Amino acid sequence: MKPAPFEYFAPEKIDDAVELLARYGEDGKILAGGQSLMPLMNLRLARPQVVIDINRVTALDYIAQGADGVLAIGALTRQRSLEHSAVVKDHNPVLAATMPLIGHFQIRNRGTIGGSLVHADPAAELPAVSLALGAEFVVKSERGERVISAEKFFLGSMTTVIEPTELLTEIRFPRWRPGSGWAVEEVARRRGDFAMVGAVVWLQLDGTGLCEETRVALFGVEDRPVRIVRGEQILLGNRPEADIFAEVAEVVAEQLDPVSDVHASREYRKEVGACLTRRALQTASGKVGKGVDP
């Protein structure tokens, strides 16, 4: 399984990358970590005429926490860097907990956060986490920069709003609310595999113990990560308890319109989506008020 021929560029600066995209974007692909793109190229399922390798654009590799608490991560940041980052651990426990679920350490040595998000595999963890946490994506082209919310970013299986001539440069996670409860649950065929079904939840309680903010997102179930807004609404204003979780789970089962594939049927994804949501909410409520390292 050898790739089809292509022209190759390895820019070192962001602007050079952007310029190459302007010129070749329609026929080309960005090569970041390669853990998703290279298999497709080896299988000849992807045959870009031009490959723009951004691994030397070191300016895109950073983890920075702003004064406003926003966590800004360069698109080329390796998944392993995120996994081992003290900043991420302290300021975004959901992201920190998700990293070890992604593939294996050899994959995380090369795989990047930007690559995973743009590749938009429906069963991948990072797109769902970005959706659940309300992340924003900074995208650059020769025409300038735009900021896109995670809500609007994922269009379908392996498809995002990014144009062929655009480059994802930064991912911004909002300030983490201390005392939030959260959980990431998934069922995969094997540890490290893409999920058959996964759920990411977080919730924040007010002074009286009622849920004042929450997000429930599922992955692996449809052609992109989905937010269960109706489920979130059920949680809001209520105590996080088993009967509420059961109601939310029912909504999940109703709302989901899952795919069937070799690993799991539609029914499986509905049922287990509901089940994982329930379990995740249980786990999340147990973490509320306990700080970032429960």
Partner 1 sequence: MAQTYIGASIKRREDIRFITGRGTYADDIKLPGMLHAAILRSARAHARIRSIDTTRAGAIPGVVWIFTLGDIGEMAVPVPMRMYKIAGLERYLQPLLAQNEVRYVGEPIAVAIAESRYLAEDALDAIEVEYEDLPEILDVTAALRDDVLVHERTGTNLAAVHEIHVGDAAAAFEKADYTRREMFRVHRHTGNPLETRGLVADFDAGKRQLTVYGMTKLLHYNRQVIAAFLKLPEHNLHFIENDIGGGFGIRGELYPEDFLIPFASVRLGRPVKWIEDRREHLMAANHSREVSCELEIAARRDGTLLALRAKIYGNMGAYVRTHGGLVPCSTAALLPGPYRIPNYECKIHCVVTNKTGMGTYRAPGRYESCFFRERLLDMVAADLDLDPVELRRKNLIQPEEIPYEIGITRPGTNPTVLDSANFPSALNRALQEFDYSRIAACQGRLENGRYHGIGVAYFVKNTGGLEPYEGAKVVLGDGPSVAVYLSINVLGQGHETAMAQICADGLGVPLEWISVFHGNTDLVPFGWGTFASRGTVMCGNAVHLAAQRLRQKLLLIVGEQLSLDPAQLELHDGNIHQKGSRDPVLDLKNVLAHVRETVRVNPGEPALEETAYFNSNQLTHSYGVHLAHVAVDPETGVVEILRYMVVEDVGRCINPLLVHGQAVGAAIQGIGGTLFEELVYGENGQLLSTTFRDYVLPSSTDVPPIESVVLEEAPSPLNPLGVKGAGEGGIVGTGAVLANAVSHALSSLGVKVTELPLSPDRLRALIRNHTARRA
Partner 2 sequence: MSMKHSVRLAVNGALYERLVEARMTLADFLRNELHLTGTHLGCEHGVCGACTVLLNGNAVRSCLLLAVQANGAELLTVEGLTAGEQLHPLQRAFQDRHALQCGFCTPGFLMTAFAFLKETPRPTHAEVREAISGNICRCTGYQPIVQAILQAAGETATDKKRDIPKR
Sign of CA dihedral 189, 192, 193, 198: positive
Asked if 67 is part of the footprint of partner 1 (rule: CB under 8 A), the reply reads: no
User: Who's near 183: CB < 8 A, 6+ residues apart?
Assistant: 199, 200, 201, 202, 279, 280, 281, 282, 283, 284, 287
Residue 262 interacting entry, from partner 2, partner 1, none, C-beta within 5 to 8 Å by type? partner 1
Name the minimum Å distance from CB 8 to partner 1.
Answer: 14
Asked if 262 is part of the footprint of partner 1 (rule: CB under 8 A), the reply reads: yes
Considering only 28, 111, 271, 281, the residue that binds partner 1 (CB under 8 A) is 271
Binders of partner 1 in range 31-50 (CB under 8 A): 39, 43-44
CB atoms near residue 27 (< 10 Å): 13
Residue 109 interacting entry, from partner 2, partner 1, none, C-beta within 5 to 8 Å by type? partner 2
Quick one: 257 or 261, whose CB is closer to partner 1? 261
Residue 196 interacting entry, from partner 2, partner 1, none, C-beta within 5 to 8 Å by type? partner 1
Closest CA to 193 of 95, 102, 96: 102
Name the minimum Å distance from CB 281 to partner 2.
Answer: 27
Quick one: 12 or 261, whose CB is closer to partner 1? 261
Quick one: 20 or 216, whose CB is closer to partner 1? 216
Q: How far apart (Å, rounded) are the C-alpha atoms in residues 228 and 210?
A: 19
Residue 105 interacting entry, from partner 1, partner 2, none, C-beta within 5 to 8 Å by type? partner 2
Q: How far apart (Å, rounded) are the C-alpha atoms in residues 187 and 197?
A: 5
* Structure-block tokens of residue 112: 């990047």
Using only the alpha carbons of the chain, give its radius of gyration: 19
What x-and-dash track marks residues 175-214 binding partner 1 by CB under 8 A?
------------x-xxxxxx-x------------------
The answer to whether 8 and 48 have CB atoms below 8 angstroms apart is no
Torsion-angle region of 57 (φ positive above 0: left; ψ -120 to 50: alpha; else: beta) = beta
